[in-house]
Amino acid sequence: MSEQIIKTLKEIKDKCGEDIFNDINRFKGAIRDILPGSEREIKRIRKRLIETAEIGAYNSLKQAAAKNEMQLECSQLVTVLCDEGIDAVVAQDVIQSFAALFTPEDIFIQQPEPSDTKQPQQFTDPRDGKVYRTVKIGNQVWMAENLNFDCPRSKCYKNIEKYGRLYDWETANKVCPPGWHLPDYEEWQTLVDFAGGNEVAGKKLKVKNSWDWNGNGTDEFGFSALSKSNWWSASECNSILAFTRGIYSNHDEALCSLGNKSELLSVRCLQDYLKPIYKKQLQQFTDPRDGKVYRTAKIGNQVWMAENLNFDCPGSWCYENNPENAEKYGRLYDWDTAKKVCPPGWHLPSKEEWQTLVDFAGGNEIAGKKLKAENGWGDDQGRSGDGTDYFGFSALPGGIGGSDGCFYDDVGTCGHWWSAEENKGSSSYAYFHWLLYKGVGVFRHDKRKSYLLSVRYIRD
């Protein structure tokens, strides 16, 4: 069965592109086209492929491949399928086949533990005795109702017994009962990915009735999102805004957006669990041209310089012509120079290589927090703009300069790094990625090649 499934999946991916794995209706159609027939075995294979696609296996394995966590993810996905009543051998076969899209190696899949049929379906808040339904979705345990804990800076909008109370962001971060917490951006995304991705997850998370404009859902996992649902996440964007997750009547998406922290939104609490600790993989590299030593960081399958380049050459400048700035932030380079002055064995990263890094760090919306150094970034209205340096990338804000001798974006506020691609629409422009002190996102734009930006190289 495995060889046939692998062949089928590869044909679907080659003909339709990888986005088809996030569109279940298209995926079903493609399977019928590539595996026609009404034989019992063919129908069984089609059914298993659809069930596996519906739990978001493709995206989960793609992310696991980038993090070198394929074995763990395969075992977890097999457990999910077994919990849904699929035979363990069949589940392993199907997941192995999906994994073959990302690695030629056979993945050892640990036998799933038997499901705990005594998993509690209710939780009593010890503070006020209110009882909440709970639901296990993938490896997460969520409250299946909005929080309804009466406290300062919370308000009622309408039927609080049904819809819960509304909270500002500061209160939302503190209001979950013991053993529970406000989910952050990545925890919300884990739920959404498990439910099929941003484009379709809303339909599966909505209740089956009470939504306006025929916007009811399937409540496939028992999450039971009620009409006009908009919840806080624990992740902030800056001193004013924080990330939210919303589901609405007129579409099936589960949207990530930003809300002012003073707004009043619903809260869904997530049960506490032991988070894995990422072990930084740091080494050193000596530039043979001048003897300078740079820290390096292995992040996913990539090895990056963990410092900005500081190689003195024509086409490079110190910010404000001050050598002390170069010692801390590296030198600034025009694009043509940045392409040429990489040490042996290193190169200027492409847009795609930058995006691989950003995706590994959580996506464009929040990756900046993990990539920024732990100090050196300016404050945003009294709130530090520093990051967590989760992977050891240690991004620093080296400013930006022009070939006319002027310097902009003060050191300490912005970091800009060239990528290897020029803008095909205008050959005098090239792309760069940048971080800002008062945000957590990673942004991409283009500038004239004559501008002076920082440089990070990636190992060949």
pLDDT category of residue 21 using cuts at 50, 70 and 90: confident
How large is the average pLDDT for residues 123-152?
94
Beta bridge partners of 429: 448
Mean local confidence (pLDDT), 306-334 = 95
Q: Which residue has the higher pLDDT, 212 or 445?
A: 445
Annotated domain spans of the chain:
2-99, 122-271, 282-459
> Between 245 and 382, where is the model more confident?
245
Closest-CA residue to 354 (of 403, 414, 419): 419
Q: Per-residue pLDDT averaged across 371-399, rounded?
A: 90
Picking from 17-31, 172-186, 299-313, 366-380, which range would have the lowest pLDDT averaged per residue? 17-31
Burial of 437 (0-12, 13-18, 19+ CB in 10 A): buried
| pLDDT score, position 60 | 84
User: At CB < 8 A and 24+ separation, what contacts does 218-225 make?
Assistant: 220/195, 221/135, 221/137, 221/194, 221/195, 222/133, 222/135, 222/137, 222/144, 223/135, 223/137, 223/142, 223/144, 223/191, 223/195, 224/133, 224/135, 224/144, 224/145
Q: How far apart are CA 137 and CA 224, in angstroms?
A: 12
Give residue-wise pLDDT tens across range 202-247. 999 999 887 877 788 999 999 999 887 899 999 999 889 999 999 9
pLDDT of residue 116: 41
Which of 30-39, 166-175, 208-217, 220-229 has the highest mean predicted lDDT (pLDDT)? Answer: 166-175
- Residue 395: pLDDT over 90: yes
Q: How far apart are CA 387 and CA 374, in angstroms?
A: 5
pLDDT at 120 over 70: no
If you ran DSSP here, which 8-state letter would residue 190 be given?
A: H
Stretch 405-422: mean pLDDT, rounded?
Answer: 89
User: pLDDT by residue (tens digit) across 331-375?
Assistant: 999 999 999 999 999 999 999 999 999 999 989 999 999 999 999
| pLDDT tops 90 at residue 34 | no
More confident: 5 or 203: 203
What phi and psi, each to the nearest 5 degrees, are found at residue 137?
A: -125, 110
Query: Which of the two residues, 121 and 270, has the higher pLDDT score?
Result: 270
Tell me what pLDDT residue 439 has: 87
The type of residue at 369 is K
Q: Which residue has the higher pLDDT, 275 or 216?
A: 216
Judged against a pLDDT cut of 70, whether residue 268 lies above it is answered with yes
**106 pLDDT higher than 70:** no
The answer, yes or no, to whether residue 73 has pLDDT greater than 60, is yes
The pLDDT of 130-139, averaged and rounded, is 93
Q: Is 74 or 246 the better-scoring residue by pLDDT?
A: 246
- pLDDT for 341: 95
pLDDT for res 377 = 93
Helices (H), 180-234: 185-194, 201-205
User: Could you tell me the pTM of the whole model?
Assistant: 0.68
For range 100-117, the mean pLDDT = 59
Give the best-scoring range by mean pLDDT among 78-82, 179-183, 250-254, 438-442: 179-183
